[in-house]
Chains A and B, each alone.
Chain A
Amino acid sequence: MESLVPENLTASFPWLTALVVVAALGAVALWCLPRGARGRVREIALGVSLVNVGLLVGAFTQFDTSKAGVHQLYEQYAWIPQIGTSYAVGVDGLGLALVALGVGLVPIVILAAWREQGDDVERLRHYLALVLLTAAFMTLIFAARDVFLFYVVFEAMLIPIYFMIGAFGGPQRRGAAVKFLLFSLAGGLVMLVAVIALFLQGPGGAEGFLTANLTGLALTTNVERLLFVGFFLAFAIKAPMFPVHTWLPDAAQQAPAGTSTLLVGVLDKVGTFGMLTLCIPLFPSASAWAAPTIVVLAVVSVIYGALLALGQKDLMRLIAYTSVSHFGVMILGIFAFSQTSIAGASFYMLGHGLATGLLFLTAGMVIARHPQRSQRIADFGGLQRTTPIIAGIFLLGGLATLSLPGLAPFVGEIMVLIGAFGAYPAAVIVSAVVVVLAALYILLTYQRMFTGPEQEHLTGLPDMVGREKWVVAPLVAALLVLGFYPRPALDLVEAPADVTVSTIALEGSAS
């Protein structure tokens, strides 16, 4: 079993910690900003996020892609040794890819929020500080290599998101925020119990919570299954998966577009990421045991989410439901346990983050232009004549969402479907129907909002302005580049997928 836990490669410079600290300090700085400097909050927040992009580039130069299956840039310090926790961070290719997704989206979200609060710089200051705080947590959770650290961040990161929905969203934002928190809390509580129970099964000691020390434990079948369910439930809520998905549409409907981008594009990936980096490595035989059931639920999510999206009247809710469908695809890929499907699911996490981000942010631009800031699809029409660039970008985001070949999500989706076919042909055949439903929910929406004659109440709306072009340009470029040339990202996620598959295979041969 020892071979399953490859040696970590220690960092020569604490890149990951630096990413966390810079973002967190940026948040603190915004909150403590002296009155005189408050006119500059946007520039400061953007600057901090761009420093992080620079740090990310640095981290990439130190990451050895040929060893992407190993956790690198590793740092470990004793935290509270009395209770066995360490501050341990490190990333394999998948972790680094998700850190990159988060770090890359933050400046885009900041740029998108530039005028969101009108001239209310005070509100914007708080919002941007929360964005930076979230950024710090996002890096930390994808890098955490200590289960206790992971749990604490998993819970703590709910707080900035809660405020980003509850204080800055639409008319029913409070209820949506509370619902979000209740669901997360329920998942967190179950996970809490599982975390404690897992520790009790482990070797204990000052480093008892290190993920490496909790991997490959000799657990009895029942204990392993219970622990698996504890972790999985928390991740399924986060992902979100049918039937515990209902918090997401409410949250996305009420939250500002930037918040939804981070929430759906990055934070929800903690669910699928947790399944890959905690559920399967820690509880391999329980994962194999649960896989058929999970595959069924995943397929239900795929179809159910798509059908629900089709029936939505609110644009943001619609996008949220498409994600329920897409997370189903990812989870199908993960639990089909084929190397192609897992690498595909990992790649899809990135592609989905980009596509959904683009769709949410462009939708935000459309909504911001409506005289009453309506989100109802029926309140729009004929916008292709009025705002052709926005229309084009929205369509592109939509086409990415429906996994059109040539755009990044396609590579992930098709890898999941063909990779899972060998083990679960029926699941793939049913899931493949989603390509029809996806075409319908995207193109019907496009038709209703953008085609047809110009609407009187929408005439004279301004098309995309320069700042907004900077918001969408990096996303469009990334979608196209990874769509045609997915190699760079595949190089990162393939080796971790190999590790996952060999974990399951080893378990299969052992039992």
Chain B
Amino acid sequence: MLSMLPVATEVAPAMAAAGFWQENAWLLVAAPLVSAGILLLLGRSADRWGHWLGLLASTLTFVVGAGILVDLLGSPAGERVREVDLFSWISTSELDLVAGLRLDPLSLTFVLLVTFVGSLIHLYSVAYMENDPARRRFFAYLNLFVASMLLLVLADSYLLLFVGWEGVGLASYLLIGFWNHVPAYATAAKKAFVMNRVADVGMIIALGLMFSTFGGLDFTTVLAGSADASEGKLTAIGLMLLLAACGKSAQFPLQAWLGDAMAGPTPVSALIHAATMVTAGVYLIVRSGPVFDGAPTALLVVAIVGAITLLFGAIVGCAKDDIKKTLAASTMSQIGYMMLAAGLGPIGYAFAIFHLLTHGFFKAGMFLGAGSVMHGMNDQVDMRRFGGLSRYMKITWLTFGAGWLAILGIPPFSGFWSKDKIIESAFVGEGWQPWVFGTVALLGAGITAFYMSRLFFMTFHGKQRWTSEAEGTGPDQHPHESPILMTLPMIVLAVGSVALGGVLAIGDGFVTWLEPVTGHVEHHAPVIPVPVIMAATIVLVLLGAFLAWRQYAASTVPVVAPRGSLLTRAARRDLYQDDVNEGLVMRPGQYLTRSLVFGDATLVDGAFSGLGRTSSGLGRALRGLQNGFVRSYAAMMALGIVVIAVVVLAVQG
């Protein structure tokens, strides 16, 4: 059931023979899905080995993904976009939709990121969740996530993508609420799902627009058709896709769920809420490149959303004392960078994905590091209660350090290669845009350096501020390094944080690899010379890091947070995002619901039957009727039939 279809990009139709790996591409989705099903269906009887099955399924997807990658690399660039049809899915006389997978450089990049980092995190979780009685269920959900995420990136139509899109949302819901016996965690899970559903409204409207405009929902039809569609239609589709992306990727104004999502176990935060799922919005935008090419306004809004979010996240990150929430704010901010890059259009698409990839490694590594710290510190997350841990957790300290240098963008660490390119591209263009976007990207780099260094120093350096039983603030702390199953994935990810960016940047290798999807773009000169931008970035980054060092490593960090300035207090409360949502949406919504419930019982219902109930006389009559009611009803029905008979006979007679 394999067939090659013409693709929507400028690349010629691929006609290469389907290889062994490509024929088994369906395993990428099926293997983790089946494993999840087995783990859930077998229940407790699979408790002893369930996590190994989960790890096996995840590893298998990596092997298949790597096989396909080798396959694609062995073909000329023109034959690297392939479609694998699976089965006829939804078809009517108007819509013919085949469920199929699209294997191309973009989807394969994601497949390898998800399966490689995913498998490492499965391995880490074997140890991290060892003492949790529901570890098997945890692995079932992780597998469900991997299957959904791979479906999301491999789908060859927007509708099938939406299935994966909701699947990862479900997995995210289940995993955020994994410990939902804690009421706050249950609320966090629901919040994430509901906010994502707000974004899904955008997706559904986009699907409706696409179907009515192009008559199809597969990438080939939509992306090829975009060349001829009106700008108005494309702008509408683009904005709706952006709305969808904002939910999944926690971009402004739908960012409020991500911080709370840290309620999930830390491996989940690393995999889903840092490395992979939250970047799906960026994938959606880049995948829909041809739509945005015809909709410059929509593209501009993407860039604006990215710029706002990158500052928003960075500011919030400076004020958080919870190590995971700081990392979450940082994720939001870094995805803002990716969004900004995607919003720059074809010159930014490849860099958005490049940064997504390097970020996936260094951020996942740092989250696992945070998990390792929590593991050794009785699940403490307050950084004001850390300090001086570098001596007790050498591996965690070193691997975290690699991630820290990578996100700061210090050459030659991974982040430098991808983030610098985004800052540079942001300065490309005409009018006010390069100046605004470029400045925001540049400033963001400095703030990132500050808050990430703050996190690093507060946790690993300075004085020990651990809790003790005598203090009454928690158990005595005896920090220790984590077991090998946890440190091994951290080490591998640290290697990626150090070298991945540099390796992929050799000869523009990664950008060229993506060209069959993102198109080839000539180099554009930024409004400021490149060396100046680079120098300014380095200076700002060093300045940010220095300020953090002075305040959090060189001087004493108070164990109770000082009151702080107005901005600090606002940032601690996530710039009042929850208050705004509550005031603008939740309160009015609750009021509306309550009034409607009242109205339904009195007005609507009253108009029909309440009349009988309020008038006591009729009520009594009704009660009297009740016993013989059915008999009367049957009589009435018989009467009806008699009436029909009489009328008919009269007419015919």
Contacts and interface: CB of A to CB of B under 8 A. Distances in A.
B87 A307 contact: no
Interface in B386-404: none
A421 B633 contact: no
B166 A440 contact: no
B648 A83 contact: yes
A208 B208 contact: no
B193 interface: yes
B131 interface: no
A421 B212 contact: yes
The interface centre, meaning the residue of B88, B95, B637 with most chain A CB atoms within 10 A of its CB, is B637
A39 interface: no
A208 B640 CA distance: 18
Interface in B194-220: 194, 197-198, 200-201, 204-205, 207-212, 217
B167 A159 contact: no
Interface stretch (A104-112, A134-142, A213-221, A398-406): A398-406
Nearest to A313: B597
Contact of B622 (A178, A311, A451): A178
Interface in B153-210: 159, 162-163, 165-167, 170, 173, 177, 180-181, 183, 186-187, 189-190, 193-194, 197-198, 200-201, 204-205, 207-210
B608 A490 contact: no
Interface in B558-616: 592-594, 596-597, 600, 604-605, 607-609
B87 A246 contact: no
A392 B104 CA distance: 37
Interface string A389-400: 100100000010
A452 B167 CA distance: 24
B204 A454 contact: no
Interface in B338-397: none
A395 to B, nearest CB: 9
A243 B197 contact: no
Contact of B608 (A178, A246, A487): A246
A212 interface: no
A406 B87 CA distance: 15
Given A162-B630, A192-B640, A425-B208, A340 B95 contact: yes
A196 B643 contact: yes
A311 B652 contact: no
B190 A444 contact: yes
A186 to B, nearest CB: 8
B607 A243 contact: yes
A487 B88 contact: yes
A188 B640 contact: yes
B594 A311 contact: yes
A486 interface: yes
Contacts of A451: 177, 180-181, 183, 186
Contact of A307 (B596, B626, B641): B596
Contacts of B644: 83, 148, 151, 192, 195-196, 199
A84 interface: yes
B633 A433 contact: no
A485 interface: yes
A153 to B, nearest CB: 11
B186 A452 contact: yes
A415 B90 contact: yes
A458 interface: no
A399 B609 CA distance: 34
Contacts of A418: 95, 204, 207-208, 210-212, 217
B180 A443 contact: no
Nearest to B592: A307
A179 B652 CA distance: 37
Contacts of A80: 645
Contacts of B625: 178
The A interface, classified by DSSP as helix, strand, loop or mixed, is: helix
A64 interface: no
A507 interface: no
A438 B204 CA distance: 14
A281 interface: no
B652 A204 contact: yes
The interface centre, meaning the residue of A311, A343, A487 with most chain B CB atoms within 10 A of its CB, is A311
A159 B186 contact: no
Contacts of A182: 609
A121 B181 CA distance: 40
B634 interface: yes
Given A338-B94, A428-B205, A435 B200 contact: yes
Contact of B629 (A178, A189, A196, A343): A178
A439 B194 contact: yes
A22 interface: no
Contact of B641 (A152, A417, A439): A152
Interface in A366-388: 382, 384-385
Contacts of A486: 89-90
B45 interface: no
Interface string A190-203: 00100110011000
Nearest to B604: A243
Contacts of B170: 399, 404
Given A178-B626, A183-B608, A200 B647 contact: yes
Contacts of B205: 421, 428-429, 432
20 contacts: A83-B645, A158-B633, A163-B630, A178-B629, A185-B633, A192-B643, A196-B647, A199-B647, A307-B593, A308-B597, A310-B593, A418-B210, A419-B94, A428-B205, A443-B189, A443-B190, A451-B177, A452-B183, A494-B93, A497-B92
List 7 tightest A-B contacts by C-beta distance, closest first.
A421-B208, A451-B186, A311-B597, A246-B605, A405-B163, A422-B212, A451-B180
Given A152-B641, A178-B629, A487-B88, 14 more contacts: A83-B644, A162-B630, A196-B648, A243-B607, A246-B608, A340-B211, A418-B211, A422-B212, A428-B204, A435-B204, A443-B189, A453-B181, A485-B87, A494-B93
Interface of B: 40, 43, 87-95, 159, 162-163, 165-167, 170, 173, 177, 180-181, 183, 186-187, 189-190, 193-194, 197-198, 200-201, 204-205, 207-212, 217, 592-594, 596-597, 600, 604-605, 607-609, 622, 625-626, 629-630, 633-634, 636-637, 640-641, 643-645, 647-649, 651-652
